[in-house]
Amino acid sequence: MAERTKTVWLLGTRGVAAVVFGVLTLLWPQLTVLALAWVFGAYALVDGVMVMGTAWRHRHARRSAAACAAAGALGVAAGLVAALWPGLTALALVAMAGAWAIVTGCLELWVATRLRHELRHAWWWRASAVVSVAAGVLLWLRPEAGAVAVALVLGVYALIAGGLWLAAAWREYRTRTGHGARSWTGPASGARVAH
């Protein structure tokens, strides 16, 4: 029961952070590059910490945990760079955010594929990873885009990803409380409950 509670909190925190970031960037798309870098930095930092927490919970699967930890560390690094380097230009922010989204998405897709029988939420991981890669590619296709375009792409990405994580947290909560245990996205009978 405690493990499932931790899973709900990990998924929920990640989802809330993404939704807050998405709402902020979409409500104020005219954010300056400095403000956008700070908001993105805070989001990437929180997301990275949550992913590293997941890696720690799956440390028995060494390669997958290492890939998950790498994705989390990349998020933490991107968050720190964005927050502590106030002189970021729009182009530098696009390059960094795009690289973060693509690499993190690829690593999470690999982890979700490797741990598909252990992760109760493998489907959500894969969907979030695909959205992440798509956002990164969009940013890299138009590296000359200004802060407004960057904010819109990142905002839409964050809202979709956050919605996926919150849906996964809700599903885990329902399973934990005995409701909806046999959801259409559920694992095969006997699969480990994990995040």
Q: pLDDT (tens digit, 9 = 90+) per residue, 43-96? A: 899 889 988 887 887 677 777 778 888 888 998 998 888 878 867 777 788 888
pLDDT at 186 over 50: no
Question: Which is higher by pLDDT, 176 or 157?
Answer: 157
What pLDDT is recorded for position 133?
93
CA atoms within 13 A on the CB side of 121: 26
- Compute φ and ψ for 177, nearest 5 degrees: -90, 5
Q: Are 177 and 137 in contact (CB under 8 A)?
A: no
What pLDDT is recorded for position 86?
63
pLDDT at 8 over 90: no
Q: Which two tokens stand for residue 120?
A: 């109760």
Does 2-176 carry CATH code 1.25.40? Answer: yes
Q: How far is CA 159 from the centre of its chain?
A: 11
How far apart, in Å, are the Cα atoms of 90 and each of 20, 98, 145, 150? 21, 12, 8, 8
Taking the domains of the chain in order of start, what are their residue ranges?
2-176
Question: Which is higher by pLDDT, 185 or 173?
Answer: 173
CA distance 153 to 123: 23
- Compute φ and ψ for 161, nearest 5 degrees: -60, -45
pLDDT at 195 over 60: no
Q: Are 191 and 115 in contact (CB under 8 A)?
A: no
Over residues 4-31, the mean pLDDT reads 83
Contacts by residues 186-193 (CB-CB < 8 Å, ≥ 24 positions apart): 186/120, 187/117, 187/119, 187/120, 187/122, 188/117, 191/117, 191/118, 191/120, 192/117, 192/118, 192/120, 193/3, 193/4, 193/7, 193/120
- The predicted-structure confidence for 110-135, as pLDDT tens digits, reads as follows 877 876 666 666 777 788 889 999 99
What pLDDT is recorded for position 183?
42
What pLDDT is recorded for position 94?
83
pLDDT interval class at 172 (50, 70, 90): confident
